[in-house]
């Protein structure tokens, strides 16, 4: 696992809120990853919030198949930038949040066979294809819709009340269906045609659930 590049996201958030003189900074961790927000009160019940989340992960996993096992090296990039309005309808910590989410989510992988493929294995005319002869597979999954609307509820007001506030968010991002692109080389090339079928399986997954916990610190 790599260290998350929170510093870069922080810079993004800082730029977004620089014009509005942020009055609070908050730290969240949730289904969009760890992140930082800067908040500015627009009036007594409305805060402007900008920030971002991000984490990256590299992982290796073996896909077991009846023909050949394929070892995939995954790269997961998860998170995005947000611009939100937090509306506190009752003046307390409860809020309704809405805004835009700029997705940086991308899962990619490269797979190579870990073993030979034997045609007619065990027979007199057995034919072995070495892993390097078989080729490789690669895929990328991401949301084609890079900017998506967010709607959620939450607790905690970063700009009012106590100097330190606990935050809770529950919401959804309407991302549209993720898109999976596969490519293959050499003898594995036709495997890439699975992406059409796999995308059919992902078709109904058009929202991304958001659950996050955080801590806000008022700066002024």
Partner 1 sequence: MMTKRRFLSTIAAFCMVVSFVFAGCDFNEAQDVFEEFDVIIALEEVNSFVAITIIDAQSQAFVSQDVTMSFRGDAAGSVIDMFSDPVSELVISGGLGSFGIQNSLVPSTSNPVELRVVVTADGYDPGSVTIRMEGTGQTTVRAWLRRHATVLQGAVSTTDTGGAAGAGGVVTQAVTAQTADNTQNQASASVTVAVGTTAQTSTGQPATGTLTTTVNLYTAITATTAQALPGGYTASVQTSTGAVEQTAITTAGFMSVSITDATGNEITQFNPPIRLSMEIGRDTHNRRTGAIVQAGDSFEVYSYNETDGVWVFERETTLTGPDADGNFEAAFLTDHLSDWFVGAAGNTCDSGVFTVNRTGNNGSIIVSVGSDIDGWFPGVFVLPAGDNTLTIKNAPNNLGQYFLSFNHSGVPVQFINGNAEANGSICGATGAVTLDAPPPDLITVTFTFDFEGDGNPDASNGTCAALRVTNVPAFTIFVKESGQVDADARWVGSDPVFTSDNLQRINGGSLVVSGLEVGKTYVFYSTINNEREERSISITGPSMLFDMSGDVQSADICSQ
Between CA 141 and CA 157 the distance in angstroms is 35
- Is 117 near partner 1 (CB under 8 A)? yes
Interaction between residue 207 and partner 1 (CB under 8 A):
yes
Is residue 96 a contact point for partner 1 (CB under 8 A)?
yes
* Cα four-point dihedral sign 192, 197, 198, 199: positive
CB contact set of 196 (below 8 Å; sequence gap of 6+): none
Hey, what are 136's tokens?
Answer: 């490789």
Select from 7-15, 34-42, 50-58, 193-201 the region that touches partner 1 (CB under 8 A).
193-201
Tell me the number of residues near partner 1 by CB under 8 A.
47
Per the document, the length of the chain is: 220
* Pattern 67-86, partner 1, x by CB under 8 A: xx-x----------------
Binding letters toward partner 1, positions 11-40, x by CB under 8 A: ------------------------------
**Which is nearest to 149 in space by CA: 170, 169, 167, 176?**
176
Could you give the CA distance from residue 37 to residue 56 in angstroms, rounded to a whole number? Answer: 19
Bridge partners, residue 27, by sequence: 36, 215
Residue 172, interface with partner 1 (CB under 8 A)? yes
Mark the segment that binds partner 1 (CB under 8 A) among 24-32, 72-80, 125-133, 159-167: 125-133
Tokens of 38: 């800067």
Smallest distance, partner 1 to C-beta of residue 134, A: 7
d(CA 106, CA 109): 10
Residues within the interface to partner 1 (CB under 8 A): 63, 65-68, 70, 89-90, 94, 96, 113, 117, 119-121, 123, 125, 127, 129, 134, 137, 151-153, 170-172, 186-191, 193-194, 196-198, 200-207, 209
């Amino acid at each position: 696992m790599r260290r998350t590049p929170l510093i870069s996201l922080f810079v993004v958030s800082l730029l977004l809120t620089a014009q509005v003189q942020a009055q609070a900074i908050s730290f969240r961790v949730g289904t969009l990853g760890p992140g930082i927000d800067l908040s500015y009160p627009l009036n007594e019940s409305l805060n402007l919030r900008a920030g971002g989340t991000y984490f990256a992960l590299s992982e290796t996993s073996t896909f077991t198949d009846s023909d050949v096992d394929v070892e995939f090296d995954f790269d997961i990039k998860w998170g995005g930038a947000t611009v939100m309005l937090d509306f506190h309808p009752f003046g307390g910590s409860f809020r309704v949040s809405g805004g835009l989410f700029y997705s940086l989510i991308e899962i990619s992988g490269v797979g190579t066979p870990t073993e030979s493929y034997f045609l007619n294995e065990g027979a007199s005319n057995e034919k072995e294809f070495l892993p390097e002869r078989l080729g490789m597979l690669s895929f990328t999954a991401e949301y084609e819709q890079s900017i998506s609307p967010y709607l959620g509820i939450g607790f905690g007001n970063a700009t009012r009340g106590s100097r330190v506030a606990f935050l809770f968010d529950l919401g959804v991002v309407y991302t549209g269906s993720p898109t999976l692109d596969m490519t293959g080389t050499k003898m594995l090339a036709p495997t890439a045609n699975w992406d059409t079928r796999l995308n059919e399986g992902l078709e109904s997954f058009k929202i991304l659930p958001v659950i996050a916990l955080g801590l806000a610190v008022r700066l002024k």
